[in-house]
Amino acid sequence: MAEKLTKLIKTMPSGFQVIAVPLPGYKQTYSVAMTDFGSVDTNLGSGKHLPAGIAHFIEHKLFAKPGYDVSEKFAEYGANSNAYTSYTKTAYLFQTLENPYDNLKVLLDLVEHPYFTEQNVQSERGIINQEIQMYLDMPEWVLEQKILAQLYPHDPISADIAGSSESLQMINKDNLLATYRNSYRPANMDLVIVGNVDFDKIVDVVEQSPFESMDSQTEIEKNKFEPIGPGGQSTMKISQSRAAFGIRIDTDLTGYDLVKYQYILNMIMETLIGESSENYQTMTNKNLIDDSFSYNVVAENDYCFIIVSGSTNKPDEFQKYLRDYFLNNDLDKILTKDKFERIRRDAIGAYLFAQNSPDAIANQIAELQFYDVDYLQLVQLLNSISLEEVLQASKDVFKNDNFTYYNLIADGK
């Protein structure tokens, strides 16, 4: 399908980017509106910070309008809707088999017209606080927060995306509106719609749904990172211990180079500890891991790290094994030219396979626009990666000073 995809784009006078990928014959239409603002964007400079969780709070409350909830409007037009907040982005979406343009109007109304009141903010505090308390009982979530706190001590990324019970009390209708107007500026957002749609009709809908006037911009400053933490552990009432090994990569890469680097890091990790690797089998045979074992590579503007985690009955051995293996890895022997080409082809195949899914296409396009990367050029990006680049990156990444860990010990063990 890669050769058949066409991406149409128009930048509105406000700076709002509108992107469509027509898929003639497809019944499903998927659309996402995304803003380049997430949970880590809290540093206003001069010692001023937004409350933790404010991006997530806005995500929740934008659905509230005078006298109705936007999800009800989507349902009237036959669409499923949702939203999510990540470390660096917030997204609002719908998927439907009918009425794509009516649903697009609803999506634009959702992101363009905030309605924050003392009453609806107060009621939302309780709802989000319940969500936070629920996650506190989930060992996977607790472990992720703990290892992030080691990778980036006292940084917003180590806080729950939803905030805390304390930070929720600092969120009010005034700072919600000020933050919305600063971070939901049209030039800080994009809209992607994928399906059997007409681009001219899409542009017409957008032109009839102008954003409210925005306040002058307050620049969100970069967070200054403290040295990586030494690691740690705590106990939790769980049936089996869990362990996370973290690698922080301090890099100045941005845009295209950063996206390329994420693919390089994934190639390295898949080669060394992927399910088809010899090392994965060795760790399994040593009873260090089970089928919960996984790794996650994150390469965002300002943040680049890898987390390897899973359930284990031998958390200390798990940590020692990974540290020793990464420091003394034999990637240059394992990653032959033939194996490298197979991994590259697998990555290209995964990209092509995802093009059968309108939601996968839309979400990737929306995200990559903020990195000035053309989704349709990802095959060229993958083909530009050389074996030498991969081997050099492994030498840069696997250094003892980049490593940390966290063990979540089953209570009583």
Question: 124 pLDDT band (50/70/90 cuts)?
Answer: very high
Three-class SS state of 201 = helix
Instruction: Give the per-residue pLDDT at 213.
Output: 58
Q: What is the pLDDT of residues 316-344, one digit of tens each?
A: 999 999 999 999 999 999 999 999 999 99
Q: Which residues of 269-295 are buried (b: 16+ CB within 10 A; e: fewer)?
A: bbbbbbeeeebeeebeeeebbeeebeb
Give the pLDDT confidence of 146-162 residue by residue, as tens digits.
Answer: 999 999 999 999 999 99
Spatial contact of 306 and 296, defined as CB atoms under 8 Å apart: yes
Strands (E), 66-170: 68-69, 79-85, 90-96
pTM of this prediction?
A: 0.94
Q: Identify the CA nearest to 367 among candidates 191, 198, 132.
A: 191
Residue 312 to residue 211: CA distance in whole angstroms = 51
pLDDT of 190 > 50? The answer is yes
Q: By the 8 A CB rule, do 209 and 108 touch? A: yes
- Measured between alpha carbons, how far is 38 from 87 in angstroms, rounded to an integer? 5
SS3 call for 249: coil
Alpha carbon of residue 248 to chain centroid: 17
Nearest Cα neighbor of 380 from 258, 254, 253, 260 is 260
Q: Read off the pLDDT of residues 284-317 as tens digits, 9 standing for 90 and up.
A: 999 999 999 999 999 998 999 999 999 999 999 9
Per-residue pLDDT at 219: 80
pLDDT value of residue 216 = 59
Question: From the DSSP assignment, how many helices (H) and strands (E) are in the chain?
Answer: 16, 15
**Residue 59 known to be catalytic:** yes
- Residue-wise pLDDT tens digits, 361-393: 999 999 999 999 999 999 999 999 999 999 999
Exposure of 253 by Cβ count < 10 A (0-12 exposed, 13-18 middle, 19+ buried)?
middle
pLDDT in tens, 248-298: 999 999 999 999 999 999 999 999 999 999 999 999 999 999 999 999 999
* Stretch among 84-88, 220-224, 336-340 having the lowest mean pLDDT: 220-224
User: What does the pLDDT read at residue 2?
Assistant: 43
Tell me the percentage of the chain whose pLDDT exceeds 90: 91
In this structure, the strands spanning 403-410 and 232-236 are parallel
pLDDT, position 1: 43
Token readout for 139 is 């060992």
Average pLDDT over residues 180-204: 96
Catalytic residue among 59, 124, 144, 300: 59
Confidence of residue 211 (pLDDT cuts 50, 70, 90): confident
